[in-house]
């Protein structure tokens, strides 16, 4: 039997570099900052590019907490960033919060574009394995789409020939007040910003829908239509156990008292706005006379 030749054993294969960042967590402030920068952009700018700040959690998740826009200009085959502005903004942010470091960069638009590889290469020199966040401010699919990517280097032997962006899981967690603002922001057409009472009504409707889903799930498990899930059962048990044991009359009185206090605050704020508007008009009339 002949031994395999050197040409047969030495093969050149395509290899992808591994990525350590498996997921990312984005705070709503980052999304609001990106949308605000997009509204304030120059008329000739098609998109906004900026830096993401945050930290790496112990489990390896990238926690994105802040951002700032970086002036840039781009053409078909090249992109130019204002690096001095980028570094000065980074120093200013770290004076306020030194724990926030560069974790990646963002751009507006749907998905990755041709110039994204060039920008990602710059941020790869700033921080190892940066993430790329895209925010669809043009509502291409009817709503704002937010995605996160990491870059994998495609190598042929020892030579790097290209880079591939791969989408990673993104967690956008918000409290209810932030969610109302985000839902209003991502809607394609909004007549007006919902008031506090309208927001409360929407939350109550959402809560009732969730309770109906729980009822349906429990009934299906009891009737044997679906298999029980211990994890879901523990969640339901914890939710029921967190409900205060109050009589219906006491609970209704508590809600009504809180609602009356809220309506009183709305009434006082309306009186204050009316008084300020009247004082401004009287002051203007006095200056004219």
Q: List pLDDT tens digits, range 3-28.
A: 444 343 344 444 444 445 478 888 88
Q: Which residues span the domain enclosing 278?
A: 245-288
pTM: 0.60
**Residue 124 counted as domain residue:** yes
Q: Is residue 110 part of a domain?
A: yes
> What are the tens digits of pLDDT across the range 171-211?
887 776 677 677 666 665 556 666 667 777 877 888 889 88
Residue written as token pair 């042929």: 156
Question: Are 166 and 275 part of one and the same domain?
Answer: no
Do 234 and 267 share a domain, yes or no? no
Cα distances from 211 to residues 10, 205, 207, 218, 239, in angstroms, run: 63, 10, 6, 11, 11
Q: Tell me: do 127 and 55 sit in the same domain.
A: yes
Q: Are both 171 and 212 inside the same structural domain?
A: no
Structure confidence by residue, pLDDT tens digits, 94-141: 888 888 899 999 998 877 777 788 888 888 888 888 998 998 877 666
Q: Do 71 and 170 have their domain in common?
A: yes
SS3 content of the chain, % helix, strand, coil (to 5): 45, 20, 30
Q: Which residues neighbour 75 within 8 Å (Cβ) at sequence distance 6 or greater? A: none
Q: How many domains does the chain have?
A: 3
- Given 148, 176, 204, the domain boundary residue is 176
- Specify whether 167 is located in the same domain as 44: yes
Mean pLDDT score across all residues of the chain: 79
Q: So what's the pLDDT on residue 53? A: 93
pLDDT at 189: 56
Residues 281 and 151 placed together within one structural domain of the fold? no
13, part of any domain: no
Residues 163 and 257 in one domain: no
Q: Is residue 4 part of a domain?
A: no
Considering the domain architecture, whether residues 33 and 163 belong to the same structural domain is answered as yes
To the nearest 10°, report the CA torsion of 145, 149, 155, 159. Answer: 100
Q: What does the pLDDT read at residue 19?
A: 47
> Phi/psi class of residue 73: alpha, beta or left (left: φ > 0; alpha: ψ in -120 to 50)?
beta
Buried b or exposed e, range 79-96, using 16+ CB within 10 angstroms: bebeeeebeebbeebeee
Distance CA 51, CA 61 (A): 18
Q: Alpha-carbon distance 9 to 167, whole Å?
A: 35
């Amino acid at each position: 039997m002949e031994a395999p030749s050197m040409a047969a054993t030495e093969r050149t294969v395509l290899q992808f570099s591994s990525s350590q960042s498996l997921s990312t967590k984005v705070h709503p402030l980052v999304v609001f900052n990106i949308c605000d920068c997009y509204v304030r952009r120059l008329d000739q700018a098609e998109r906004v590019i900026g830096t993401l700040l945050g930290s790496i959690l112990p489990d390896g998740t990238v926690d994105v907490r802040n951002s700032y826009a970086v002036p840039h200009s781009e053409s078909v085959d090249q992109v130019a960033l204002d690096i001095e502005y980028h570094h000065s903004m980074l120093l200013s942010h770290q004076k306020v919060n030194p724990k926030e470091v560069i974790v990646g960069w963002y751009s507006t638009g749907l998905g990755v574009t041709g110039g994204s590889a060039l920008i990602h290469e710059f941020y790869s020199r700033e921080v190892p394995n940066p993430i790329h966040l895209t925010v669809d401010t043009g509502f291409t699919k009817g709503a704002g789409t937010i995605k996160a990517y990491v870059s994998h280097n495609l190598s042929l032997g020892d030579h790097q020939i290209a880079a591939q962006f791969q989408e990673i899981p993104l967690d956008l967690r918000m409290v209810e007040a932030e969610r109302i603002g985000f839902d209003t922001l991502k809607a394609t057409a909004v007549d007006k910003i919902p008031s506090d009472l309208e927001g409360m009504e929407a939350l109550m409707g959402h809560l009732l829908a969730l309770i109906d889903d729980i009822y349906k799930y429990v009934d299906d498990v009891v009737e044997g239509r679906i298999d029980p899930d211990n994890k879901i059962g523990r969640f339901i048990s914890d939710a029921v156990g967190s409900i205060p044991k109050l009589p219906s009359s006491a609970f209704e009185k508590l809600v009504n008292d809180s609602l009356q206090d809220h309506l009183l605050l709305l009434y006082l704020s309306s009186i204050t706005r009316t008084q300020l508007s009247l004082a401004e008009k009287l002051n203007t009339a006095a200056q004219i006379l």
